[in-house]
């Protein structure tokens, strides 16, 4: 692949990953030479951004760690269950995944058994127009209850009250997830009080 071909590929992109470039046949020396020539800036481990592009931190995080699912604080805010934007990005990865780089970069990371990582995962469009993986409304409620000690009581109660008032809630799906994630009893208790 020639330098021109690499530049042509990169010209249409705000973000490019090293893995993506290498898998398209670009050699490492060619890639780094072109990144330097085109003034691309490193914005995350293995992720580079075009000069003067508006960098979507969530998309960068997704490119860095494609297995991660945005969850907990991030999902609560996205689903409008709380008003406060999270102070740090929050993701879930499977148990055993090396989270050191993520936590070193200030990402809040939760882990779960591999078989539950995909449960409730959906693709959403974030506020910058990029498609990213995030847990749906019902999985977010289960995660909230599973990790209730990590939340201020006011945020916890607000999220639950907001959920039960929503017309798009799916209580059957919620209870299905709750059973699989072993929080069925707790969620039933909260719902009996709120509904």
pLDDT along the chain (195 residues), means of 10: 59 80 84 87 87 88 94 97 94 96 94 97 93 98 96 94 96 97 95 82
Q: Which two tokens stand for residue 159?
A: 């999220």
| pTM above threshold 0.75 | yes
Q: What is the pLDDT of residue 1?
A: 46
- Of the candidate CATH numbers 1.25.40, 3.10.450, 1.10.10, 1.10.3470, the domain formed by 3-55 belongs to 1.10.10
Identify the CA nearest to 88 among candidates 98, 101, 103: 103
Domain boundaries, the chain: 3-55, 67-194
For 146, other C-beta atoms within 10 Å of its C-beta total 18
């Amino acid at each position: 692949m020639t330098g021109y071909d690499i530049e042509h590929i990169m010209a249409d992109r705000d973000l490019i990953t090293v893995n993506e470039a290498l898998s398209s046949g670009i050699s490492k020396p060619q890639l780094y030479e072109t990144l330097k020539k085109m003034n691309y800036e490193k914005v995350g481990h293995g992720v580079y951004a075009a000069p003067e592009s508006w960098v979507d931190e969530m998309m960068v995080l997704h490119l860095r760690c494609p297995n991660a699912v945005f969850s907990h604080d991030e999902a609560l805010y996205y689903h409008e269950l709380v008003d406060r934007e999270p102070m740090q990005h929050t993701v879930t990865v499977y148990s055993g995944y090396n989270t050191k780089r993520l936590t070193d970069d200030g990402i809040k990371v939760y882990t779960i058994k591999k078989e539950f990582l995909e449960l409730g995962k959906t693709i959403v469009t974030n506020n910058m127009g990029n498609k990213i993986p995030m847990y749906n409304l019902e999985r977010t409620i289960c995660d909230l209850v599973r990790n209730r000690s990590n939340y201020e009581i006011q945020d916890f109660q607000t999220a639950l009250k907001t959920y039960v008032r929503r017309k798009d809630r799916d209580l059957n799906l919620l209870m299905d997830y709750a059973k699989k994630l072993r929080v069925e009893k707790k969620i039933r208790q909260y719902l009996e009080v709120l509904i």
